[in-house]
Amino acid sequence: MTIPVRQGRRAERRRRFDLRSTAMFFLLLAIIWCVLAFLARTAAVMVERRPVWAGVLAVLGLAGALRFRSGWRRFSAGRYARRAARALEEAADEASEHLGATATEEPAARAGTGAPAEPTAETVILEEPTAPLLAADYAELDPDGFEYAIAELCARGGCRDVEVVGGAGDLGADVVAIAPDGRRVVIQCKQYGDGNKVGSQDVQRFGGTCFTIHEADVAAVVTTSDFTAPALEYARQCGIVCLNGDELEAWRRGTGGSPWQPADPGP
């Protein structure tokens, strides 16, 4: 028995002619030709009317095409950003080194005096003693002037290296000096009126810095008024010398003791 074999279809079938696709192709081709013709005519008109501009545009277009083709891959925005960042970092390092060197010059220059001073405090050195003011003039002075007056009394009493260091950040020290016997004297000046006495809190604040921070051998509080009893008791316990208005006048006249050499209280 013979089994009939059915012929299969041909693997490839001829493509049938499509009128619509062909028409679309020729239409697109016509549009392209029209655009190219328009561009060519525009270029011809430009060359005729403005040949310089046409040449410039042609050169720029050619250069841009060559640049786009050969040099686009070489461009890297990240690379240029890294270069700029490195340049800024180097400039910042140089500036910080310069500022650091400038900041260390002043403490190094002041280290030779052997006297600690706060960077924000004003330091004025008295080279020669001048005539002290009258006691009545102390109340008329401003706080800075009163500190200078006390410094003049120290200089007149034979102290050396007298400095006015009062100001912002002085930590309680207004006048520092070296006594004739070599001890370091630290004085706080309190220019108060007669009705305003130096209290215990004022003396306690000074007592917390005069010995530990300013390394005083002699710590004293000098005022134009007087001290409260608790303030005098605290000063006695801590070894702080207190001079009120009368004792300040006696120091000025030379009839009383100085902070580094108090008067003998007697029997």
DSSP for 159-197 reads -EEEEE--STT-TT--EEEE-TTS-EEEEEEE---TT--
Q: Which helix H or strand E contains 124, and what residues bound it?
A: strand 124-126
Per-residue pLDDT, 50: 72
- Whose CA is closest to 153, among 132, 172, 137, 170? 132
Split at pLDDT 50, 70, 90, the class of 5 is very low
Most confident residue range from 37-41, 77-81, 112-116, 254-258: 254-258
d(CA 152, CA 229): 29
Tokens 């000096």 sit on residue: 177
pLDDT surpasses 70 at 18 = no
Q: Which two tokens stand for residue 119?
A: 């960077």
d(CA 157, CA 251): 9
Q: What angle do CA 140, 171, 259 make, to 5 degrees?
A: 60
Split at pLDDT 50, 70, 90, the class of 95 is low
Q: Which two tokens stand for residue 55?
A: 């040449």
Asked if residue 227 lies in contact with residue 244, where contact means CB atoms within 8 angstroms, the answer is: yes
The per-residue pLDDT for range 115-156, each reduced to its tens digit, is: 444 434 455 555 454 545 555 567 778 888 899 999 999 999
Split at pLDDT 50, 70, 90, the class of 25 is confident
Q: Which helix H or strand E contains 52, and what residues bound it?
A: helix 51-70
pLDDT surpasses 50 at 111 = no
Q: What is the largest CA-CA distance in the chain?
A: 160
Asked if residue 61 lies in contact with residue 46, where contact means CB atoms within 8 angstroms, the answer is: no
Overall size of the chain counted in residues: 267
Which neighbouring-strand residues pair with 187? 175, 220
Q: How far is CA 94 from CA 97, 100, 107, 240, in A?
A: 5, 10, 21, 49
Per-residue pLDDT, 33: 86
Per-residue pLDDT, 181: 93
d(CA 13, CA 19): 18
The least confident of 13-17, 32-36, 170-174 is 13-17
* CB neighbour list of residue 200: distance below 8 Å, 6 or more residues apart: 228, 230, 231, 233, 234
Per-residue pLDDT, 115: 45
Angle, helices 229-238/200-207, rounded to nearest 10 degrees: 20
